[in-house]
Structure 1
């Protein structure tokens, strides 16, 4: 029987894969992808499935599930720690390891589901930290050149939820990621995000031990239903479904949050736009709905389908555009479907 992709996505949605391969080594990843490419078969490289919307009809190609493991630290000359992590490692397990060992720089990214290999693709970020701030290099298998290749952080062309890997989604398979982390976990990183500073009871810019930052972030994410809990349907989601839009200053609605960007544009809040366009927490039906904890998360209430989810996403997107003239862009990757 074909493997259902609903068993491998945090939405618990998605039909069967024509072929499903679990790869525990880099060689197995490269072999599976190369064989599929040679046969002219479509390939889906699957990590934690936390940023993926899969068609109800499933995927007619080969799914390569990344199950590689390994965390290798090497001290740098300046006292930092260079940590190379296999793409198949669970991201939050790695963050927990870093915090336990006193490595700093990724603690505000606690509780984010998915695999390490997925983080550079969309430059994962939260609470004032992005992985681009600590990534030094990304090793990939280049499906066009048919061989391994390593990109420096600069060559990754990181932007807001963006990278060269997202720009060329079918070309590179991430094999491992190297991070440059501080070794000052006892003093931690300066708090850059106002909500996190408030939760910790400190001012922005204050240095706080990494363990305290992780605990505060996990508490904040749980309050929004963004820490995976199989018993809580608010977490049957992809986290934030829409990215925060970046617009011209004059296009920010009155009263909406506004975060000026270096290029003169302004980033505003997708959650604010959704809520003020009339889509409140829990909006939807018994199959799919906005989270009861956070308007930015679309959720499967247990009996939903991908088509149900897309209908809700379109309703929200179109409603925000009608109210404010701003078109929200989905953050999850769409497989076999379009928003």
Structure 2
């Protein structure tokens, strides 16, 4: 059950400051800590606490266990003119991912398409900020990730597939399409968030350890997440995981470790792809696509606007940047405790 459901209202600047201090208290340098902290807070701003600050204590635990090197510099090796092999050297996911993005953007200007295959790097978190970064520079951005075995096969029992998320950005001048979705009915972080808040799950999200549908979040943590969309979601998740595993040489399903625990080396993989729209003779920021998306938005019944992928996240972010967001009180107190370890350390000494 949840350890507490009281919340407090936090602004983004304070959240980044506390999260950065917590990471520095465990040994991270200021730049890496700031980047990782900002990415966690970005998930909070977009209304996805499952990928936000609740991930930080696990990161700290992995740092203290020697499984995560917070100051690692990723190794970038070009396997071919447009294929980048990235060894994160056990570092933070955002640090590795943004380094890879900078490299493939530059290369895709020459080749039209460039792809990075990441291994030995930690949880990327929300995928939309990465693909949006590519979109801002005139690229179609695609990110695939593998995760721990959390999803049961369609017609099968047991957590044998990852939630294997997919992120895509197709830019227009006013935002375009930004897809950030799990191929499970929900992310593992969302299940844990519901469990911590003591809330029942919606129908269809998960099964218990015997394969029976459940709305009990605690039972779901011992069971498996259901694939979204039945057989089709199962097939998509399996296929995306296969692509990531083959290109990165990383593990599959139950053998993927390192984003939810504090005991195993990280064995997940990630793929990041940049496609230069201009290389195909097209203008970045398509006005035609923007007009089409507006047609869709205006198609709602009874005068209601239809959302396209990315709309809700952008609206949530704008509201949270202006007004702040809620964080579970127990979680926040824990983060403040971790931050105090950094603040109380002697000058030049890290906890």
Fold-level similarity (TM above 0.5)? no
Higher helix share: 2
Higher strand share: 1
Higher relative contact order by CA 8 Å / sep ≥ 6: 1 or 2? 2
Q: Please give the TM-score of this superposition, normalised by the length of structure 2.
A: 0.31
